[in-house]
Amino acid sequence: MTNTPAPDPRAPHEPPTAARDDSAAITGHELLPDRRRRLIATAALGCAFLGMLDGTVTGTAMPKIVAQLGGTDTWYVWVVTAYLLTSTVTVPLYGRFSDLHGRRGPMLIGLGVFLAGSLACGAAPSITLLVAARALQGLGAGALLTVGMSVVRDLYPPSRMAGMVRMQSIMAVMLVAGMIGGPLVGGVLADHAGWRWAFLLNLPLGLVAAAVLAALLPRVRPAATAAVRLDLAGIALLTAGLSLVLLGLTLKGYGEHGRLRDWSDPMVGGPLLAGIVLLAALVAVERQAAVPIVPLRLFGHRAYAAIAAAGFFFQAAGLPAGIFLALYFQQVRGHTATASGLLLLPMLAGMVISNRLTAALIMRTGRPRPALLLGATLLTAGSIPFLTLDAATPIPLIACCLLLIGLGAGPAMGGAGIVAQNSVPRTDIGTATAGSMLTKQIGGAVSLACGQSLLAHHLAGAATAAGVARGVGVTLGWVGSVGGLLALVAIVLMPDLRVAGPGPAAGKPTAAAAQG
- Any residues with CB less than 8 A from the CB of 340 and at least 6 apart, and which? 325, 326, 329, 330
Query: What are the φ/ψ torsions at residue 262 (nearest 5 degrees)?
Result: -80, 160
Is the per-residue pLDDT at 4 higher than 70? no
Q: Model confidence over 109-148: pLDDT tens digits?
A: 999 999 999 999 989 888 889 889 999 998 998 888 888 8
Alpha-carbon radius of gyration of the chain: 23
State mean pLDDT over 279-304. 84
Nearest Cα residue to 314 out of 371, 244, 359, 251: 371
Is the per-residue pLDDT at 24 higher than 70? no
How is the chain split into domains, by residue range? 299-516
Q: What is the rounded distance in angstroms from the CA atom of residue 155 to the CA atom of residue 29?
A: 6
Burial class (CB in 10 A: 0-12, 13-18, 19+), 74: exposed
Instruction: Say whether 256 sits in a helix, a strand or coil.
Output: strand
State mean pLDDT over 9-24. 38
Q: How far is CA 152 from CA 98, 179, 308, in A?
A: 13, 22, 20
pLDDT for position 227 = 54
| Highest averaged pLDDT of the listed ranges 124-128, 336-340, 341-345 | 124-128
Superfamily of domain 299-516: MFS general substrate transporter like domains (1.20.1250.20)
pLDDT for position 3 = 46
pLDDT for position 404 = 94
Q: Model confidence over 200-259: pLDDT tens digits?
A: 888 999 999 999 999 988 887 665 554 556 778 888 888 888 888 888 887 776 666 556
Q: How confident is the model at residue 60 (pLDDT cuts 50, 70, 90)?
A: low
pLDDT for position 263 = 80
Q: What is the rounded distance in angstroms from the CA atom of residue 449 to the CA atom of residue 27?
A: 43
State mean pLDDT over 78-96. 82
Number of Cβ atoms within 10 Å of the Cβ of 263: 13
Average pLDDT over the chain, rounded to whole?
79
Is the per-residue pLDDT at 496 higher than 90? no
pLDDT for position 503 = 39
Nearest Cα residue to 243 out of 142, 352, 158, 173: 142
**28 touches 49 (CB < 8 A):** no
Number of Cβ atoms within 10 Å of the Cβ of 226: 10
pLDDT for position 257 = 57
As a whole-number percent, the residues of the chain with pLDDT over 70 amount to 78
pLDDT for position 7 = 42
Q: What is the rounded distance in angstroms from the CA atom of residue 485 to the CA atom of residue 309?
A: 12
* Range with lowest mean pLDDT among 61-65, 175-179, 190-194: 175-179
3-class DSSP string for 450-484 = HHHHHHHHHHCCCCCHHHHHHHHHHHHHHHHHHHH
* Range with lowest mean pLDDT among 266-275, 341-350, 500-509: 500-509
Q: Model confidence over 140-184: pLDDT tens digits?
A: 988 888 888 888 878 877 666 666 667 766 776 776 666 666 666
Q: How far is CA 167 from CA 30, 41, 214, in A?
A: 16, 8, 21
State mean pLDDT over 39-58. 84
- Any residues with CB less than 8 A from the CB of 486 and at least 6 apart, and which? 309, 313
Nearest Cα residue to 74 out of 245, 195, 250: 250
496: left (phi over 0), alpha (psi -120 to 50) or beta: beta
3-class DSSP string for 347-386 = HHHHHHHHHHHHHHHHHHHCCCHHHHHHHHHHHHHHHHHH
